[in-house]
Amino acid sequence: MRNESMLAMILAGGRGTRLESLTRSIAKPAVYYGGKYRIIDFPLSNCANSGIDVVGVLTQYESILLNSYCAGGQKWGIDGKDSGVFILPPRETTAGFGVYRGTADAITQNIDFIDQYEPEYVLILSGDHIYKMDYSKMLAAHRKNEADVTIAVLEVPMKEASRFGIMNTDENNKIYEFQEKPAEPKSNLASMGVYIFNWQLLKRELLRDKDIETSEHDFGKNIIPKLLDDGKRLFAYQFRGYWKDVGTIDSLWEANMDLLGEEPVLNLHDPEWKIYTEDVNTSPQYVGKKATICNAYINQGAMIEGEVRNSVIYTNASVGEEAVVRDSVVMPDAVIGRGAKVTRAIIAPGVVIGDNEVIGDADSETILLVSNETRGVK
Amino acid sequence: MCNAVGIVNLRRDSIEGIGEYRPLGATSFMGRYRLVDFVLSNFSNSNINEINVFIKDKPRSLIDHIGEGRQYNINTKSGGIRLLGMENRLPNEAYNTDINAFTDNMRYITESKKDYVIIAPCNYIYTMNFEDLLAAHVESGAEVTVAYKAVEDAKDNFLGCECLSLNTKKDVIAFDYNRGNSHERNVSLETYVMKIDVFQKLVKEAKETSMFYRFQDILHDRVDHLEIKGYPFKGYVACVNSLQSYYNSSMWLKKPEIIRNFVDKKWPIYTSTSDSAPTVYGQDAIIEDSAIANGCIIKGTVINSVIGRAVTIEEGAVVKDCVVMAESYIGKGTHIEHAVIDKLVKVVHKTTIKSNSSEPLYIKKFDIV
């Protein structure tokens, strides 16, 4: 590592069960988002843009795709001589086959990896959040506060606060209390699952926690409360901006809709903070003679002959003549046949919607996921 | 691996206006490519991984674009793309021929363990498997093989291109250039295959004949003494050697039924990514029959056009029958027809720009209109 002595570890083992068939055979961080990205492109691009040189990616559930996707780090330009993105699945040791028993345990099992770089700080991230954040500013606050731990927090609506880990802080942002999903929250500062730890302190704590049988080896449940009890200096760092944990089909759809509009809630066109991803070789998108496009987000390789309204169309997807796609998300290589109507739906990668088929309903409360699995297509 | 070294040759051709800013190969094409991507992808897809790209002037944009060449799917240790300059440039342009560039760099070509060389231009757009071309060359026993395309529109198209006269055995009996005198011509793709020692010999002979000779000149001179075969190519071809042909080719390739003959999952055209987000279309956008690259913000009207990366078209603006290159800005209330707009142009004043002839209008890089 070069200047800033901070290494990042991305927890990317999440199953994302509530994303249904989208995560049947890939981990949640590998799910497609926003026309061309996978969710993990966001923390990785944030690392690249924050000047972090070494990133470990901790994979576990359905890790094959994620492992090959992240390997090398070239896609995000984290590929200099002393840099890299390193895939860290559980390994076999003399004690047997490893499994990551919790978020903290995943780091414990890779203490040797981190020690190679002798970092002063370790940044812990989640691989399944969509946001743009400069971690170097968070590190500056961590240093200024002479903190042991800094936790990024986001203001959430008070009525939703009980879904999150809530930080109660004093006027200097010092955390005096942490409540995991409190029934009656005292504040609305929710943890984003983004932590900076002084490495030596975290390492001691992890080694201590590792052998405690009652521990779930989890940052939120075990490590953070223990450090707070021990009187360590924990600070909140308030993040202002877009942040989304896409846990469900509805929230994945919402996150896509957040890209639309004149002043989108999430703007990915900022040349100062690009989100990097795999470069797919396709021709430019083509919009045909009879097409109508209104308020849409469309990626290269897409072929639009019909009508697209309030929708996100991914790489190489196509919309046939007289088809209408409204309030929907059409993932890579999906085909919307001639005259088909798709409303309030997510069409999974590679799904073929037949001519004149009608999918979804403008009045439905929830978003319909259409995948080859839901359609019984192999 | 294919038993050939690839050479992307220097060109005399230059596109009016556009050529002031970059070598021909670095010219942006179809919104997201550069011209050189097509020939480099042909080499890569044909399993040729020793590629030499010759550059004469203004190398910056081409060096930036090609870089290490990893994006072309070439493993950089077992092969690579080498950018070769002209070592001994002279103030008189007539001296700065491909022959002189080859002579300056001959050792880097002859040191290869491959037996053959394939020389191809950067401004002919086609997708050809060079392994088939090489196999046909070896099979025929000819000393040189030239790929050509029999066309029926040579009066309007391929003007200035090398043409072949062939006998029934496909031997080349004469070369000339297309002056637009007849419809049917065998248009040379200026793509040649030969043994490296034949190449070396021809370069030497050219140099000895005239300091102003180019590789084509020596081939044309030797047509009676060398065994030169024509290799008929049946696929689609576009040649970009003028502003008009650049414009026409862009409009032709824009059609989905055409571009799909060039860009295909099995024959990808590689380029370097600019990491742009998908293109965003506004509430009142009207788009018809257009090819659009990523990273654009389109709120106005785009009809029958090719739009490059990260172009902004504001509401109320009309862009019709145009080619717009990357990062240009078309402001509110402007109306542009039949123009080629170079990179980073800002059309900010309420203007109407229309070409009044058959020629497209060209707007220079960085211009504010």
Residues in chain B closer than 8 A to A286 (CB atoms):
254, 256, 259, 290-292
pTM for the model: 0.92
Q: What is the pLDDT of residue B358?
A: 76
Number of domains in chain B: 2
Q: What is the pLDDT of residue A341?
A: 98
Q: Is residue B301 part of a domain?
A: yes
For residue B338, the domain's CATH number is 2.160.10.10
Residues in chain A closer than 8 A to B268 (CB atoms):
281
Q: Is residue B275 part of a domain?
A: no
CA atoms within 13 A on the CB side of A239: 25
Residues in chain B closer than 8 A to A269 (CB atoms):
276-277, 280, 295, 297, 310
- The arithmetic mean of pLDDT across residues B229-251, rounded, is 95
Going B244 to B42 to B97 to B55, the CA torsion angle's sign is positive
- The arithmetic mean of pLDDT across residues B139-166, rounded, is 96
Domain termination residue (choose one: B230, B262, B294)? B262
Is the minimum CB–CB distance between A282 and chain B shorter than 8 Å?
A: yes
**In a shared domain, residues B216 and B318:** no
**In a shared domain, residues B341 and B255:** no
Q: Residue A300 and residue B256: Cβ atoms within 8 Å?
A: no
In whole angstroms, give the CA distance from residue A267 to residue B96: 48
Q: What is the pLDDT of residue A356?
A: 97
For the record, the structure tokens of A217 come out as: 């080896």
Is the minimum CB–CB distance between B263 and chain A shorter than 8 Å?
A: yes
In whole angstroms, give the CA distance from residue A98 to residue A105: 10
* 3-class state of residue A213 by DSSP: coil
> Rounded to a whole number, what is the distance in Å from the CA of A92 to chain B's nearest CA?
32
B-chain residue closest to A266, CA distance? B277
Q: Residue A286 and residue B291: Cβ atoms within 8 Å?
A: yes
Give the ranges where chain B is alpha helix by DSSP (H). Answer: 36-45, 60-66, 98-110, 130-140, 196-209, 215-221, 243-254, 256-259
**In a shared domain, residues B197 and B299:** no
Q: Is residue B112 part of a domain?
A: yes
Residues in chain A closer than 8 A to B288 (CB atoms):
287-289, 291
Q: Residue A283 and residue B278: Cβ atoms within 8 Å?
A: no
In whole angstroms, give the CA distance from residue A257 to residue A277: 20
DSSP letters spanning A79-127: -STT-EEEE----EETTEE----SHHHHHHTTHHHHHHH--SEEEEEET
Low-confidence ranges of chain A (pLDDT < 50): 3
> Rounded to a whole number, what is the distance in Å from the CA of A211 to chain B's nearest CA?
45
Q: What is the pLDDT of residue B191?
A: 97
Q: Is residue B158 part of a domain?
A: yes
Is the minimum CB–CB distance between A277 and chain B shorter than 8 Å?
A: yes
For the record, the structure tokens of B210 come out as: 């005239």
> C-alpha distances in angstroms, A150 versus A49, A153, A224, B13?
20, 9, 10, 61
For residue B42, the domain's CATH number is 3.90.550.10
**In a shared domain, residues B64 and B139:** yes
Is the minimum CB–CB distance between A259 and chain B shorter than 8 Å?
A: yes
Q: Residue A285 and residue B292: Cβ atoms within 8 Å?
A: yes
**In a shared domain, residues B342 and B242:** no
Instruction: For residue A293, give the nearest of B275, B277, B281 by CB distance.
Output: B281
Q: Residue B295 and residue A294: Cβ atoms within 8 Å?
A: no
> Rounded to a whole number, what is the distance in Å from the CA of B343 to chain A's nearest CA?
16
Q: Hey, of A42, A49, A74, A283, which one would you mutate to test binding to chain B, going by the most B CBs within 10 A of its CB? A: A283
Q: Residue A281 and residue B282: Cβ atoms within 8 Å?
A: no
Domain termination residue (choose one: B232, B262, B292)? B262
Q: Is residue B153 part of a domain?
A: yes
**In a shared domain, residues B185 and B251:** yes
A-chain residue closest to B309, CA distance? A284
pLDDT(B117) > 80: yes
Q: Residue B280 and residue A296: Cβ atoms within 8 Å?
A: yes
CA atoms within 13 A on the CB side of A314: 24
Domain termination residue (choose one: B262, B288, B305)? B262
> C-alpha distances in angstroms, B126 versus B17, B148, B239, B240, B287?
24, 11, 9, 11, 28
**In a shared domain, residues B254 and B118:** yes
The set of residues, in sequence order, having a beta carbon less than 8 Å from that of A68 and lying 6+ positions away, is none
> Rounded to a whole number, what is the distance in Å from the CA of B274 to chain A's nearest CA?
9
**In a shared domain, residues B290 and B169:** no
Q: Residue A282 and residue B260: Cβ atoms within 8 Å?
A: no
| Per-position b or e across B274-283, b if 16+ CB within 10 A of its CB | bbbbbbbbbe
Q: What is the mean pLDDT of chain B?
A: 93
A-chain residue closest to B285, CA distance? A294
Is the minimum CB–CB distance between A262 and chain B shorter than 8 Å?
A: yes
List residues bridging with A124 in a β-sheet.
Answer: A9, A195
Q: Nearest 10 degrees: CA dihedral of A154, A160, A165, A166? A: 70
**In a shared domain, residues B353 and B293:** yes
- Evaluate whether A22 touches A132 at the Cβ level (below 8 Å): no
B269-309 pLDDT, tens digit per residue, is 999 988 999 999 999 999 999 999 999 999 999 999 999 99
Q: Residue A294 and residue B284: Cβ atoms within 8 Å?
A: yes
Interface size, chain A vs chain B, as Cβ–Cβ contacts under 8 Å: 107
Q: Is residue B39 part of a domain?
A: yes
B-chain residue closest to A262, CA distance? B282
Q: Hey, of B294, B303, B306, B320, which one would you mutate to test binding to chain A, going by the most A CBs within 10 A of its CB? A: B294
> Rounded to a whole number, what is the distance in Å from the CA of B123 to chain A's nearest CA?
18
> Rounded to a whole number, what is the distance in Å from the CA of A295 to chain B's nearest CA?
5
Is the minimum CB–CB distance between B60 and chain A shorter than 8 Å?
A: no
**In a shared domain, residues B67 and B201:** yes
Q: Is residue B94 part of a domain?
A: yes
Q: Hey, of A260, A263, A300, which one would you mutate to test binding to chain B, going by the most B CBs within 10 A of its CB? A: A300
Tell which A residues from 20 to 79 touch B, by Cβ distance under 8 Å: 34-36, 74
β-pair type (B238-239, A129-131): unpaired
Instruction: For residue A269, give the nearest of B70, B259, B277 by CB distance.
Output: B277
Residues in chain A closer than 8 A to B127 (CB atoms):
none
- The arithmetic mean of pLDDT across residues B34-61, rounded, is 93
Is the minimum CB–CB distance between A281 and chain B shorter than 8 Å?
A: yes
User: Which residues form the domain of B358?
Assistant: 280-363
Q: Residue B280 and residue A297: Cβ atoms within 8 Å?
A: yes
Is the minimum CB–CB distance between B284 and chain A shorter than 8 Å?
A: yes
pLDDT(B357) > 80: no
**In a shared domain, residues B121 and B47:** yes
Q: Residue B287 and residue A287: Cβ atoms within 8 Å?
A: yes
Is the minimum CB–CB distance between B368 and chain A shorter than 8 Å?
A: no
Q: Residue A285 and residue B30: Cβ atoms within 8 Å?
A: no
**In a shared domain, residues B116 and B157:** yes
Q: Is residue B272 part of a domain?
A: no
